Structure 1
Amino acid sequence: MTDFPFLGILTLLPLVGAIVVALIPRRNGELAKTIAFVWSLAVLVLTIVMWVAFKVGGDRFQFHESYAWIPSWDARFTFAADGIALVMLMLIAVLTPVVILASWHDVESSPDGAKRSVPTYFALLLAFEFTMIGVFAAADVFLFYAFFEVMLIPMYFIIGSFGGPRRQYAAVKFFLYSLVGGLFMLASVIGLWVVGGHTFDFAKLVESVNSIDQNTARWLFLGFFVAFAVKAPFFPFHTWLPDAGGAAPAGAAALLVGVMDKVGTFGILRYCLPLFPEASRWFAPAALVLAVIGIIYAALLAVGQNDLKRLVSYTSIAHFGFIGIGIFAFTTQAGTGAVLYMVNHGLATGLLFIVVGMYVARRKSSLVSDFGGAGKLTPVLAGVLLFAGLASLALPGTAPFVSEFLVLIGTFSVHKAYAVIATAGIILAAAYALWLVQRTTQGTLNPALEEIPAMRKDITLREKVVVAPLILLLILLGFYPKPVIDVINPAVQATMQDVGKTDPGPTSVVANGGAR
């Protein structure tokens, strides 16, 4: 079954769907939505079949495919997936149909009243899914870079054409930040080709790492890291995300923050650590400092936000700090926790963005100050927002708690100070999550809300279908994360071996109270 070209078909399937939907006449918006949704479900079914076919404990990279592309550069259409890539592909496949269904009525008209093309919007969502799958499935460095840059295009048009009042500014800022970061990676990709034996094949490059000069490797690492830090984003490369997340349609923002940003942390795990092991160890202290600063700094900014979508965007920057310390702690527990955090953050933040989008669509405003007491009119929707907020702050019993616990305990075993400081971020997470819920749905009812007919409508059947799978997954993975951890753990262990790191041994306590 593993000889079946899963990754090639999985990559191309959304692209074909995007072309089909884009060709639908503008007047047939309902048809475009339906085809896009069914097409995304087909991608989900194929991804589930691939998950079942994946052999836990088998080869590190499975579903390998390779097709000729640019022979003179030894660049090929090479696809392969380890456990880390597989869980991210599953996250994409789950979130895309959820986002399409959540966006069913969101794009008919812009805030200024102008009519917008429904087929174009849903075609862009499928095109974005195509680029996201490609970037996680690529096993050729040049192919990865191509997807890394191409994925900017559909999101740029989604934000710039279908976003909020500041959409054009946010779209340009998003594009320029990512493009500049990508140029740093392009320089490193070229340098890696020169010193790595004139090949872009990931497996061949990993074999040649010991022949690369130490200083050269550090410069090449830095080029990749800057690009990934911008994409993630890590502090201080984060400033584009609040603008992009705040301006993008809520569904697209769920994909932007829930999946696209994970390309940065995935890239560090997949490329920076195995290709530049010594440089990764050398830069680790600086990366840990930036990650910890990001946790505290972004959480403090989130508390003071008056825009719902910007608030959620800042919380994501804080969460990426936890993923960062999990990666650069170089322990299996922390690394597994970091990858699991990437999945759980995508589910929790995706749910939070979608529910916030439901409130914004009803109120026609994303300002916290325009709400207040909304739970009295929409009690069920307010309950879903509360659950999403609690999942975001990693409440025990929800999936993010497991990943955050693994990150902290794995980091504490080697870097106690960083783990202790990062723990303060949990307290701040409680502050911004509960403050969001309280100011939006609790307290005295804002009289202006009663005058808006849409605000008197609680969660609809379509909205229940949208949020139900995310809630179920967050609860299921909160109590039983083993199936996902079993897939992730071997890939993380192999990555730690690439870096030359082993887990610390247990500490025994002697009778006089000392340790050895």
Structure 2
Amino acid sequence: MVTALLLFWPAAAALLVLFLKGNTAKKFAFGAAILEFLLALYAMVQFEPSVAPQFTLVKDWIPSVGITFSIGMDGISLLMVFLTTFLVPLIILASFPHSYKNPTAFYALILLMQTGLIGVFVSFDAFLFYFFWEVALIPIYFIAAVWGGERRIAITFKFFLYTIIGSLFMLVGFIYLYFQTPGNHTSDINAFYQLNLDASSQSWIFWFLFLAFAIKMPVFPFHTWQPDTYTESPAPATMLLSGIMLKMGIYGVIRWLLPVVPLGVSQWDVLVLVLSVIGIIYGSIIAIRQRDLKRLLAYSSIAHVGLIAAGIFTLNEQGLQGGMIQMLSHGINVTGLFFIIDIIYRRTHTRDIEGLGGITQSTPALSIYFMILLLGTVALPLTNGFVGEFLLLMGVYNYNAWLGAIAGLTIILGAVYMLRMFQRVMFGEQNPATANFKDLTRTEKAVLIPLVVMVFWIGLHPNTFLSISEPSINQLLNIINR
């Protein structure tokens, strides 16, 4: 019942928002998102870490072909549901200073997207998973295309084209797997796990599924849609894309790729690891060269996702657990940083690093929150980023010491571009754009304080979350290694 409420409440709230206007619409959307978060907290309190999914609901959907409406949450799902429900109300609150044309549609689309995201994370049927995968795409497409920047149409179409092509490959792979199940065919995830396909079949299915997930993450070289989309999208859309939506691809790899086609993974894992490590270095170097704050964070995200992808393809507990905790940490940090960039842009009307400077002279609160989120991003010990990066690098090093050493450059390069950016934006002399820069409002503090609390909570008490996912990760490894 809890899973069903988490899934359907945002969609119901989206319909209700359509009947409201202006400030009432955004306040109701925020209240609905808070209620969704409280439901997720209740689920976390009631959850008992184990290998079995909990809060399950299984109903016939298309019984004639063996497709079921099967939802539930294990530890892997629950962490992603928590991340989604934690960030969405903050993203809605972060949008309050903006005046969006047709706010009812804007906030309804955000809530509808939340339903799609939750659906992806709680589905245990392949075609149900695919359905919500597409549901999550439609709202973000319209949010970016209607409320984005000057080049929004062309950029958003490129994003849509990449994603839909990848989705079609995934659908073909799922259809093939469906027909390989014995007897009356089924698309249940456990039936897919029990398939014993030959290595040749698993090899090509691997690429059909991996392409969809790699584009969404994105992994080098499937990343070319990302920097432009992040830059041209309105701030809430950028936060949704970077904070939550890219986790759909990582989750898909963990849930549907690794355990379903383990022989395919064993044939291509070295290539994926090499591409991921290339993405770490490539994203970091390009980030160093950026003048636009949004584009810098976009390439930074490519580097961080590259490390997560490398970690999970090591197929060891450290790498997979590191991937889980780093998904939480990255979502929290990148959402906070994109919000701070939005604050700077609203006050100065520029994101050009060269046109900023001296902001810290009049903004003690902003400077502190900005620095904390930045230090979490560069993996300072006792922050959330340290836990994930340490586990991921340990996993990659245990797989291959040379790859681990190269991947470890992410710590050095990340510190270079993030601290350099902070120095040039926040320190130095004020200029006409920053001379009258005002510190944080109460609304802006209300967005940043929960994010900063989570930076330290995960950094100081990581077992709060690692203990939730550990049984499911170990079960996953048993399935892969059987």
Smaller-chain TM-score bracket? over 0.9
Whole-angstrom CA distance in 2 between matches of 1:355 and 1:169: 26
Whole-angstrom CA distance in 2 between matches of 1:499 and 1:398: 32
Q: Please state if 1:48 is matched with 2:35.
A: no
Deviations 1:187-211 (A, max 9, x none): 111111112232111112212x21x
Q: 1:71 maps to what in 2?
A: 63
SS in 1 for 2:408: helix
Q: Conserved in 2, the CA contact under 8 Å of 1:251 and 1:357? A: no
Q: Please state if 1:85 is matched with 2:70.
A: no
Question: 1:364 Cα deviation (Å)?
Answer: 2.0
TM-score (norm 1): 0.91
Q: Conserved in 2, the CA contact under 8 Å of 1:250 and 1:353? A: yes
- The letter for the 1-side match of 2:5 is I
Q: Conserved in 1, the CA contact under 8 Å of 2:51 and 2:472? A: no
Deviations 1:40-91 (A, max 9, x none): 01100111111111111x3432222111211222111110221111001000
Whole-angstrom CA distance in 2 between matches of 1:448 and 1:494: 55
Whole-angstrom CA distance in 1 between matches of 2:290 and 2:186: 47
Q: 1:297 maps to what in 2?
A: 282
Q: 1:96 maps to what in 2?
A: 88
Whole-angstrom CA distance in 2 between matches of 1:107 and 1:243: 23
Q: 1:203 maps to what in 2?
A: 190
Q: Please state if 1:477 is matched with 2:465.
A: no
Q: Which of 311, 316, 322 pairs up with 2:307?
A: 322
Whole-angstrom CA distance in 2 between matches of 1:317 and 1:485: 24
> Is the radius of gyration larger for structure 1 or structure 2?
1
Q: Which of 12, 16, 33 pairs up with 2:12?
A: 16
Question: 1:301 Cα deviation (Å)?
Answer: 0.6
Post-superposition, which runs of at least 4 consecutive aligned residues in structure 1 deviate over 6 A?
none
Whole-angstrom CA distance in 1 between matches of 2:24 and 2:330: 32
The total of aligned residue pairs comes to 480
Q: Conserved in 2, the CA contact under 8 Å of 1:298 and 1:315? A: yes
Whole-angstrom CA distance in 2 between matches of 1:322 and 1:133: 24
- The letter for the 1-side match of 2:80 is M
Whole-angstrom CA distance in 2 between matches of 1:153 and 1:468: 31
Whole-angstrom CA distance in 1 between matches of 2:396 and 2:448: 33
Deviations 1:323-346 (A, max 9, x none): 111101111111101111111110
Question: 1:395 Cα deviation (Å)?
Answer: 1.1
Whole-angstrom CA distance in 2 between matches of 1:368 and 1:85: 38
Q: Please state if 1:408 is matched with 2:408.
A: no
Q: 1:364 maps to what in 2?
A: 349
Over aligned residues, Cα RMSD in angstroms?
Answer: 1.3
Deviations 1:436-472 (A, max 9, x none): 111211112123332xxxx532101111111000100
Whole-angstrom CA distance in 2 between matches of 1:157 and 1:440: 32
Q: 1:33 maps to what in 2?
A: 26
Q: Which of 194, 210, 214 pairs up with 2:199?
A: 214
Q: Conserved in 2, the CA contact under 8 Å of 1:159 and 1:170? A: no
Whole-angstrom CA distance in 1 between matches of 2:202 and 2:51: 27
Q: 1:166 maps to what in 2?
A: 151
Identity %: 37
Q: Which runs of 5+ in 1 are unaligned?
A: 109-115, 502-516
SS in 2 for 1:261: helix
Q: Conserved in 2, the CA contact under 8 Å of 1:107 and 1:121? A: no
Q: Which of 129, 133, 157 pairs up with 1:148?
A: 133
Question: 1:292 Cα deviation (Å)?
Answer: 0.3
Q: 2:431 maps to what in 1?
A: 446
Q: Conserved in 2, the CA contact under 8 Å of 1:280 and 1:499? A: no
Q: Conserved in 1, the CA contact under 8 Å of 2:308 and 2:323? A: yes
Whole-angstrom CA distance in 1 between matches of 2:165 and 2:98: 31
TM-score (norm 2): 0.97
- The letter for the 1-side match of 2:473 is V
Question: 1:105 Cα deviation (Å)?
Answer: 2.0
Whole-angstrom CA distance in 2 between matches of 1:15 and 1:370: 42
Whole-angstrom CA distance in 1 between matches of 2:449 and 2:417: 24
- The letter for the 2-side match of 1:12 is F
